[in-house]
A and B are shown apart, each in its own frame.
Chain A
Amino acid sequence: MSHSALIDRRTVIDWLGIAPFMIFALLFLILPTLYLVTGAFLTPEGDFTFKNIGDLFSPNILSAYWISIKVSLASSLGGAIIGFFLAWAIVMGGLPRSIRSGLLTFSGVASNFAGVPLAFAFIATLGRTGLVTVLLRDMIGFNLYSTGFNLLSFFGLTITYMFFQIPLMVLILTPALDGMKREWREASEILGASTWQYWRMIALPILWPSLLGTTLLLFANAFGAIATAYALTGSSLNIVPILLYAQIRGDVLHNPNLGYALALGMIVITGLSNVLYIWLRSRAERWQK
């Protein structure tokens, strides 16, 4: 009798040990999110409805999602491709060791240099009176803005986002490229494979889960970002986080529950890309043992 009571007490203590963490996660992570998710399926009077979800498909909201998806997709693909070449250069390019550690250190900084200051940096560089714009105009008489380029647009936002997307790709992909065994390359060369064949038939089939997975992570990363876009464009570019920001500030959609549905849509998109990322990463890890 007393023995079983002792075991029970120990089990209780075991669970009490993580209680603070669980309570914190529940109060400041899970409940707030659940509140919005359930709110998305309720009318303002509290009845169950699918109307809010349906209303997401109105032209204004749909276009916000579409621009967000386009910016996230473009910056994640661009970031992934350039990041891949940089990671490849430092792992397999036969460059001095100092370049590798320099790039990795810089990537650690740049992947965390986001938000409002990043927007300032690009305004000072590619804005109407920015350094590059002025230099191009004065040195070779090329007016960047007459080509239709505008920093406060889809293209400008994509270029700006790549400043933190590329470093993130470099940081995640370098270990994956380090895991490519020298023997695979040598074996393929002995069997007479060209560099192209090595990449097409050996390296890329092994690397594609890492490549695709990291691209998805970059996608989610860009999709949820707001500070850079807000500081860059104010509210002139209609992307989902900025629309949601305006909705929280002043109910611009005139329906609080539609705001919850907007948030739910964001969670679904970032959640899906993260689930796919985790699944692809577990596939990629099979080769890294």
Chain B
Amino acid sequence: MKSTRILAWLAIAIGAIYFIVPLIGTFEFSLRMRRGEYTFDAYQSVFSDIQFRTTFGFSMLMALFTIIFGMLLVVPTAYWVRLRLPRMRPVIEFITLLPLVIPAIVIVFGYLRLYNSSSFLPLTNSTSGTNMLLVFSYMTLSLPYMYRAVDTAMRMIDVGTLTEAAESLGAKWPTILFRCIFPNVMSGVLSGAFITFAIVMGEFTMASLLNRPAFGPYLQLVGANKAYEPSALAIIAFAITWLSMGLLQLVSRFQKTAPVKA
């Protein structure tokens, strides 16, 4: 038993070295901008870059739209499938898993061919159309995570009883959906939102091929042209991911200890 424990510690130690050294390396590199001393100059340079602010803001906005429209699509669907069409569940689940099977670059390739200027729906013709397409592409990318998060939360509440109770009190469909179902699956909605946020903020492929000024392509551009700023940006990106995942864990813990009473 003792040798097991030593082996276990060894595995953890090797893992820790592999995971922590790059983070230390990145942080150390980001401080090296001024010769001979450690400073936060690289961070200052990043934060004062107007491009950083605009692309970061753009990606935040895209993430927000993705979360809102994604949830408006996913929550009613998951609800309806549980309530009325349980036999369609395998089909819907299969569709929500497809974005994990079809690589993102293939999906966006299809968009560029299907929605170009000569198509039936020329979305890439205008800036706002392309932005819409970008939001749709992010909704597609986050579909597996959003659907799973919401469906898990919905499993814990009795959709049928809640609906009947609301109906017998005279509630109409919008009331049932937005004042009864949504608040009850809030933990799932929030989990899905945080992971979507983490995905969208750093996403490169879609934004780059659709030519939108998002944070991912900006990161790539800085990486190709500057020395120390990329490390500072990597630390910032890691902090964003850490924040989203931390909030996600907080929400899921909340969900386990305090189920929402209907």
A interface list, Cβ under 8 A from B: 14-15, 17-18, 20-21, 24-25, 27-33, 35-36, 39, 82, 85-86, 88-90, 92-95, 99, 103, 105-106, 108-110, 112-126, 130-132, 162-163, 166, 195, 220, 223-224, 226-227, 230-231, 234, 241, 244-245, 248-249, 259, 263, 266-267, 270-271, 274
CB pairs A–B below 8 angstroms (15 shown): A20-B76, A24-B139, A36-B113, A92-B8, A93-B7, A95-B5, A105-B245, A109-B242, A123-B223, A124-B234, A230-B220, A245-B105, A267-B101, A270-B102, A271-B101
Is B237 an interface residue when CB atoms closer than 8 A count as contact?
yes
Q: Are B205 and A86 in contact (CB under 8 A)?
A: no
Is B193 an interface residue when CB atoms closer than 8 A count as contact?
no
Q: Are B195 and A94 in contact (CB under 8 A)?
A: no
- Given A35-B110, A263-B109: A28 in contact with B21 (beta carbons within 8 A): no
Question: Whose C-beta in chain B lies nearest to the C-beta of A83?
Answer: B15
- Complex CA–CA separation, A82 to B7 (angstroms): 13
Give chain A residues whose Cβ lies under 8 Å from the Cβ of B41. none
B81 to chain A, nearest CB (A): 7
Is B92 an interface residue when CB atoms closer than 8 A count as contact?
yes
Question: Whose C-beta in chain B lies nearest to the C-beta of A17?
Answer: B80
- Complex CA–CA separation, A35 to B105 (angstroms): 14
For A115, give its contact among B4, B11, B202 (CB under 8 Å).
Answer: B202
Question: Whose C-beta in chain A lies nearest to the C-beta of B202?
Answer: A115
Q: Are A88 and B245 in contact (CB under 8 A)?
A: no
B interface list, Cβ under 8 A from A: 1, 4-5, 7-9, 11-12, 14-15, 18-19, 21-26, 28-30, 73-74, 76-77, 80-81, 84-85, 88, 92, 95, 97-114, 121, 136-137, 139-140, 143, 195, 198-199, 202-205, 209, 216, 219-220, 223-224, 230-231, 233-234, 237-238, 241-242, 244-246, 248-249
For A86, give its contact among B12, B74, B219 (CB under 8 Å).
Answer: B12
Give chain B residues whose Cβ lies under 8 Å from the Cβ of A115. 202-204, 216, 219
Q: Are A17 and B85 in contact (CB under 8 A)?
A: yes
B232 to chain A, nearest CB (A): 9
Q: Are B107 and A32 in contact (CB under 8 A)?
A: yes
For B21, give its contact among A17, A32, A99, A125 (CB under 8 Å).
Answer: A125
Known: A85-B11, A116-B204, A126-B25. 20 other contacts (CB 8 A): A21-B77, A24-B136, A27-B136, A33-B106, A89-B12, A93-B4, A93-B5, A93-B11, A115-B216, A116-B202, A117-B233, A117-B234, A121-B23, A121-B231, A121-B238, A123-B230, A131-B24, A132-B25, A223-B103, A267-B106
Q: Are B216 and A131 in contact (CB under 8 A)?
A: no
For A89, give its contact among B7, B25, B28, B112 (CB under 8 Å).
Answer: B7
Question: Whose C-beta in chain A lies nearest to the C-beta of B133?
Answer: A28
- Complex CA–CA separation, A38 to B85 (angstroms): 32
A202 to chain B, nearest CB (A): 16
Give chain B residues whose Cβ lies under 8 Å from the Cβ of A14. 80, 84-85
Q: Are A226 and B205 in contact (CB under 8 A)?
A: yes
- Complex CA–CA separation, A141 to B213 (angstroms): 44
Give chain B residues whose Cβ lies under 8 Å from the Cβ of A244. 105-106, 109
- Complex CA–CA separation, A39 to B114 (angstroms): 11
Give chain B residues whose Cβ lies under 8 Å from the Cβ of A123. 223, 230
Give chain B residues whose Cβ lies under 8 Å from the Cβ of A109. 238, 241-242, 245-246
A116 to chain B, nearest CB (A): 4
Q: Are B15 and A103 in contact (CB under 8 A)?
A: yes
Give chain B residues whose Cβ lies under 8 Å from the Cβ of A259. 109
A196 to chain B, nearest CB (A): 12
Give chain A residues whose Cβ lies under 8 Å from the Cβ of B249. 105, 108
For B109, give its contact among A130, A132, A248 (CB under 8 Å).
Answer: A248
